Chain A
Amino acid sequence: MPLAFLSEGEECDIVEVRGGRGLVQHLFDMGFTPSTRVRVLKSNPPGPMLVEIRDSRVALGKGITIKIIVNRSDGR
């Protein structure tokens, strides 16, 4: 499911990152690679999301959170 669907406090693992080449490369470089753990810290749709990844905090706009496909870590 897209990262956008998760709510605050939930954790997930990245499955896939979709989108244009520049964006995907940028997200990879920032550590958004498959099977990386992501925790949602703030989510106030339709605004951006704040996530914790690799011990840093990254704000992601609405356009991106639907392109990052994740699995909830509890397997749901």
Chain B
Amino acid sequence: MGELLRDDAELILAERRYQAIADILESTLTKGEGKWTYTDMFDHVFLHKALGIPIFLAMLWAVFQFTFSLSEPFMVMIGMIFGWLGGLAEELIANPHLASFVAGGIFDGLGSVLVFVPPIFMLFLALSLLEDSGYMARAAFVMDRIMYKLGLHGRSFIPMMIGFGCNIPAIMATRSIDNEKDRMITILVNPLISCGARLPVYVLIAGAVFGAKYAGTVIFSMYLLGMVLAIVMALVFRKTLFKGKPSPFVLELPAYVVPTAKTTILHMWERGKWFLVRAGTIIFGTVIVIWFLSVHPWAATAGGEMIGNSYIASLGHFLEPIVRPFGWDWMAAVALLFGFLAKEVVVGTYGILLGVEEGAVGASLVSLGLFTPLTGLAFMAFILIYVPCVATIGVVAKETNSYRWAAFVVVYLVALAFIVSGLIIGIGRLLGFS
């Protein structure tokens, strides 16, 4: 056959296809003006050498600000509704078992989870807007330089961003990374990106032990810690398990467009629904189990009045030695155990164990002396790091096509959690905190 195609068939065929297109367009297309006018203007700013990264960070800050300020009234409302429903159930239901189940199990437990629907959906709305408008690709561009140093490339950055909302859609978003090693690293470190489900725990603990004034800073430091750990682990994985250079970064930057409401909302829904699915299944089921264990044996606990005699307390006391060195008690042990299933459960668990409403959990934590600022900080770090929820582990297994990698994620995260929390406690004590 012809010499022509011997070495460069792909090249010649691609060239000829573009030639054919040029011939067709010659007689059918007259180019206009101004396609890139707006894009050039925006890119001048967003891709600016010095300003690109600060602008991106400002955007990120704005996203969080938007999310939390806009969703707060809704959160308060949902919390109130569930508190009221719980009270109503206790009053109206004659059977004490049933009343306890409905009020303590369903309304307290589920309510503590559903209050996080507004911020999570708002966060996804903001992220979808960034993505659909074309900005996310720019963020990948400005962050590529940093990501490259970490052994990843700009594309890995988008899943990280989505991870702030929920690790599940974030891990699914790694599909756009075509290099298998890059994708694996991105998946393995994604659970360290602090998802929306962990926020309630930070809000609870930080609010309780650091007070409203410092809570915000402490919470932000948790997000930062997560990112730093993700970076460190990405480097470690790149140097050990997935040696090599990151695959080349090629990404088309589309012209900016004004996103349409319908598409953005559908986009938000596709991601946010994971939270609802989990709330309705795993979280709900777990909360029911915790409630059951906390009010039985019924006689001994006097229908949940004396939780110290319940099954869950026995379980907690059994596990307590593991967490004792960190200064945490049996309730923390129980909360962490059930937090394996979903992080939001930690708050719900405290709600049930302390037998108080949403709003009063924090105050009880302090008045009972369960956490000091030091042990509280270590607890938050532990929550951040140890095992993402069961659903995320499931997605890791599915996306890596291997249960081994899912198991690996669990093991390395638990080990890392013990190390980091241990360091916090150790250093803190050396500095004279208790």
Contacts and interface: CB of A to CB of B under 8 A. Distances in A.
B15 A59 contact: no
B11 A46 contact: no
Contact of B141 (A27, A30, A31, A48): A48
Given A28-B14, A30-B250, A50-B253, A61 B153 contact: yes
Contacts of A74: none
Contacts of B153: 61
B14 A59 contact: no
A23 B248 contact: yes
B145 A28 contact: no
Most chain A CB within 10 A, of B142, B245, B250, B253, is at B250
A64 B248 contact: yes
Contacts of A33: 11, 14-15, 18
Contacts of A60: 248-250
B145 A48 contact: yes
A61 B11 contact: no
Contacts of B255: 57
B293 interface: no
The A contact surface, by secondary structure, is mixed
A58 B248 CA distance: 13
A50 B43 contact: yes
A55 to B, nearest CB: 7
A42 B248 contact: no
Contacts of B145: 44, 46-48
Nearest to A45: B145
A8 B249 CA distance: 19
B49 interface: yes
Most chain A CB within 10 A, of B36, B249, B255, is at B249
A26 interface: yes
Most chain A CB within 10 A, of B35, B39, B140, B148, is at B148
Interface in B230-258: 245-255
Given A31-B18, A59-B141, A48 B11 contact: no
Contacts of B43: 41-42, 50
Contacts of B47: 42, 50
A59 B10 contact: no
B140 A59 contact: yes
B154 interface: yes
A62 interface: yes
Contacts of A17: 11
B144 interface: yes
Contacts of A41: 43
B249 A63 contact: yes
Contacts of A63: 245-249
A57 B148 contact: no
Interface string B38-79: 010001000101000000000000000000000000000000
Contact of A61 (B39, B137, B154): B154
Contacts of A58: 250-253
Nearest to B252: A58
Interface in B310-332: none
Contacts of A36: 18
B55 to A, nearest CB: 14
Interface string A31-53: 10110100001101011101010
Contacts of B246: 61, 63
Interface in B242-280: 245-255
A73 interface: no
Contacts of A48: 141, 144-145, 154, 249
Interface of B: 10-11, 14-15, 18, 31, 35-36, 39, 43, 47, 49, 137, 140-142, 144-145, 148, 153-154, 245-255
Which 9 residue pairs of A and B lie closest in terms of their CB atoms, listed nearest first? A61-B249, A47-B145, A28-B14, A64-B248, A59-B251, A48-B144, A57-B253, A44-B49, A63-B248
Interface of A: 17, 19, 23-31, 33-34, 36, 41-42, 44, 46-48, 50, 52, 54-64, 67
22 contacts: A23-B248, A28-B11, A33-B11, A33-B18, A42-B47, A46-B148, A47-B145, A48-B145, A50-B253, A52-B36, A55-B31, A57-B252, A57-B255, A58-B251, A59-B251, A59-B253, A61-B148, A61-B153, A61-B154, A63-B249, A64-B249, A67-B248
Given A26-B250, A46-B148, A67-B248, 18 more contacts: A19-B248, A24-B11, A25-B10, A28-B11, A28-B14, A28-B15, A30-B250, A33-B11, A48-B145, A48-B154, A50-B141, A57-B252, A58-B250, A59-B249, A59-B250, A61-B144, A61-B154, A64-B249
